[in-house]
Chain A
Amino acid sequence: MPDSTKPRLTHAHLIELLRQMLRIRRFEEKCVELYSAEKIRGFLHVYIGEEAVAVGVMQSLAPGDAAVATYREHGHALARGVAMGPLMAEMYGKKEGCSRGRGGSMHVFDAATRFYGGNAIVGGGLPLAIGLALADKMRGRENITACFFGEGAVAEGEFHESLNLAALWQLPVLFICENNLYAMGTALALSESETDIHAKAQSYRIPSEAVDGMDVIAVEAAARRAVAAIRAGGGPRFLECRTYRFRAHSMFDAELYRDKAEVEVWKKRGPILRFTEWLKSNGMLHDTEVTGIEAEVSAEVDSAVVFAEAGNWEPVEDLTRYVLAEKRA
């Protein structure tokens, strides 16, 4: 049996990691473009710069596992296997969207991949993840729940209540804190008395680790270790992925709170840039391969847009559907 705790550094796997990160990057760039064109409305939060976290962590999940994310969740959805067409249709608010267009950018859901959102209440996903894990544990299922949230959520009570409960009940949850140093315009040091976030998890007796969230291999390796421990019945695990968002918080953000120079420094450590350079310098990637992947990804994004454009608006007569369940579970 292969060792599931280590990333498989085969050529095919490395290329797949790159491809997944590029899918997210190009999808998000297209979303920004479509926002300017007013095809996408409301709040749009893109994941550019943070791709290694979602892609790395998702490698460790099995099909039966669940994922819970935030309003910055397009990348997680793609990496989890939500198809790009329905995801883009959701951005448009079309009926063919993965949430039937009802949710939009901030509320991506997908039952097939056990993707439970898409939560725009900061910290709101954590208790939900605890409950999903509790159900798995009570049913004797092997599944784990991966719960993604920003470092801003760490200040909310729900974070602390959830970590305590997960540890107390030894629930199969993988907490992934995406520490991109800012919560909207508030820098970490202005919102946390203890800025070493993974230490907080330890105070709840949850084994935790801080990893370089710009390094997809490091993230995958840490996630695989954590998931193996959880599946072995070891209770919750916590990963703090240190990362950075390259773009504004949302499309309404004038970025008055950080230096352009700081952003540029982080861009040089960009997860795609660094990984590509590393692969090339080790002779594992050739320019023609990159061109090939880019072409493939670009075609996928284009067809997602075509799919979304061709989608339909839900009839107004259906306005009050999906308020209460139409059938008994």
Chain B
Amino acid sequence: MSAAGMVQTTYREAVRAAIRAALKADERVFLMGEDVGRYGGCYAVSKGLLAEFGPERIRDTPLSEAAFVGAGIGAALGGMRPIVEIMTVNFSLLALDQIVNTAATLLHMSGGQFNVPVVIRMATGAGRQLAAQHSHSLEGWYAHVPGLKVLAPATLADARGMLATALEDPNPVIIFEHVMLYNMAGELTADAGAVPIDKAAVRRLGRDVTLIGYGGTLGKALEAATALAADGIEAEVVDLRTLRPLDTATIVASVARTRRAVVVDEGWRTGGLSAEISALIMEHAFWELDAPVGRVCTAEVPIPYPRHLEQAALPQPAAIVAAVRATLGR
């Protein structure tokens, strides 16, 4: 560890610190989105930044997702380095056209002339009883699209460090912040900064099975691993970190060691990211596998409002434990 010492922080503060540092480091960087300024951000991420950087660089936008996301893409083309905030992934669907039809395609359509260095941040995920228009996990949809990079910081260090690297990237980068992580507290080195965005990370070592999660499911996978350890089952936990492009090498290396895998994804199972990872393992590590790849995903239902149904719909540590036992046959 560095000599800088540790500071107590939260995921929300880490994202804010990352935005602040980016604004300070590069005058081309600005933040825009609904209620990022006067209101302080719908999840309070940008609180205080308007006072510090002023309305030119902390821009409140009207409720116009298609227009302001598109404007971010255009401003990136024009030489700026915009950070566009969308309140939550469900609302990003109003801007899907700009992201998928424009940001992701311009470089290719223009024969390599126009790259789009925009960063789009948004909240994702369930757990706050916000029901079916505020709770979905659509990261997998974005990860389907060539031309985009998709990140899912699950730790304080990644919340703090991924943004700077994303801003340096010449491509459109989408960052998903799981709503249940904003209050996560912990320690971070005082000089924490940029981190790579092209590698998955092994968050826990184990020999019996590989649990693969990201964003909001990393904590659940780790929790399941702890429970399994009490029964003598050693689970390795891989945090994908980047959902596109996937770090196949890290996934395959872990599964080759443990010979078993369970993918934990808050997206729906059908056609989801978990299906992609499972296929990847089959393609690259079929002969190393001792059991079919297991999956723990969100039930195939729009997220319901009542707590008991919402929790039943989501991947839970108990279900992960059960899936691991199924792959181990014990």
Tell whether A102 pairs with B39 under 8 Å between CB atoms, given A157-B64, A319-B313, A320-B299.
Answer: no
Q: Bound state CA distance, A314 and B305, in angstroms?
A: 11
**Proximity string of chain B (16-35) to chain A, C-beta cutoff 8 Å, 1 when within and 0 when not:** 00000000000000000011
On whether the beta carbons of A104 and B63 are closer than 8 Å, the reply is no
Kindly state the separation between the CA atoms of A233 and B300 in the bound complex, as whole angstroms.
44
Q: Which residue of A lies closest to B301 (CB)?
A: A320
Q: Are B300 and A155 in touch, CB under 8 angstroms?
A: no
Complex: A158 Cα to B94 Cα, angstroms: 9
Bound CA span A56–B94, Å? 32
CB contact between A42 and one of B62, B128, B299, B312 (< 8 Å): that residue: B128
Indicate whether A274 reaches chain B with its CB closer than 8 angstroms: no
Cβ–Cβ contact B38 & A320, under 8 A: no
B34–A186 contact, CB under 8 A?
yes
Q: Which of A1-9, A20-28, A120-128, A234-242 contacts B (4 or more CB under 8 A)?
A: A120-128
Structural contact, B39 and A184, CB atoms closer than 8 A: yes
Are A102 and B38 in contact, CB atoms less than 8 angstroms apart? Answer: no
Residue of B nearest to A255 (CB): B39
Instruction: Indicate whether A43 reaches chain B with its CB closer than 8 angstroms.
Output: yes
User: What is the distance, in angstroms, from B292's C-beta to the closest C-beta of chain A?
Assistant: 23
Contact status A106-B131, CB under 8 Å: yes
Asked whether A204 is an interface residue with its Cβ less than 8 Å from the other chain, the reply is no
Q: Give the interface residue-count category, chain B.
A: 35 or more
Docked CA distance A157–B138 (Å): 22
Interface membership of chain A positions 32-72, coded 1 if the CB is closer than 8 angstroms to chain B and 0 otherwise: 00000000011100000000000000000000000000000
Q: Are the C-beta atoms of A152 and B63 separated by less than 8 Å?
A: yes
The answer on a CB contact under 8 Å between A323 and B39 is no
- B309 at the A/B interface (Cβ < 8 Å)? yes
B285 interface contact, C-beta 8 A = no
Q: Which residues of B sit under 8 angstroms from A314, Cβ to Cβ? A: 306, 309
A119 touches B305 (CB 8 A): no
Contact B305 A191 (CB under 8 A): no
* A191 and B304 within 8 A (CB): no
The distance in angstroms between the C-alpha atoms of A157 and B65, with both chains bound, is 9
- B42, B64, B300: which contacts A184 (Cβ < 8 A)? B42
B134: A residues at CB distance < 8 A: 43, 106, 120
Is B105 part of the contact surface with A, judged by Cβ < 8 Å? no
A153 on the B face (CB < 8 A) = yes
Please give me the residue from chain B that is nearest to A101 by CB atom. B306
**Smallest CB gap from B305: residue in A:** A104
A185, B35: Cβ atoms closer than 8 Å:
yes
What string of 1s and 0s marks CB contacts (under 8 Å) between B130-147 and chain A? 111110000000000000
Which residue of chain B lies nearest to A191 when distances are taken between CB atoms in the complex? B62
**How many whole Å from B313's CB to the nearest CB in chain A?**
6
Tell me the interface secondary structure of chain B in the complex.
loop
Q: Is B129 an interface residue (CB 8 A)?
A: yes
Which A residues lie within 8 Å of B65 (CB)?
A: 156
A107 within 8 A of B: yes
CB pair A316–B312 under 8 Å, yes or no, is yes
Question: CB of A103 within 8 A of chain B?
Answer: yes
Do the beta carbons of A41 and B129 come within 8 Å of each other? yes
Q: Which residues of A contact B307 (CB under 8 A)?
A: 41, 93
Query: Which chain B residues border A101 with CB–CB below 8 Å?
Result: 304-306, 309
> A76-105: which residues lie under 8 A (CB-CB) from chain B?
92-94, 101-104
Cβ contact within 8 Å between A256 and B131:
no
A183, CB-defined interface residue at 8 Å: yes
CB pair B64–A185 under 8 Å, yes or no, is: no
* List of B residues within 8 angstroms of A253 by Cβ: 39
Indicate if A169 sits at the interface (CB-CB under 8 A).
no
Measured in the bound complex, the distance between the Cα atoms of B64 and A93 in whole Å is: 31
Q: Which of A93, A123, A192, A253 has the most CB of B within 10 A?
A: A93
Bound CA–CA A185/B39 (angstroms): 5
Q: A109-143 CB contact bits vs B (8 Å, 1 = yes)?
A: 00000000001111110000000000000000000
Chain A residues within CB distance 8 Å of chain B: 41-43, 92-94, 101-104, 106-107, 119-124, 152-153, 155-158, 183-187, 190-192, 253-254, 256-257, 313-314, 316, 319-320, 323
Starting from the known contacts A43-B130, A104-B306, A256-B39, 20 additional A-B residue pairs (CB-CB under 8 Å) come to A41-B128, A92-B306, A94-B306, A103-B132, A106-B130, A122-B63, A155-B64, A157-B66, A157-B67, A185-B38, A185-B60, A186-B60, A187-B38, A190-B38, A191-B60, A191-B61, A191-B62, A316-B308, A319-B304, A323-B302
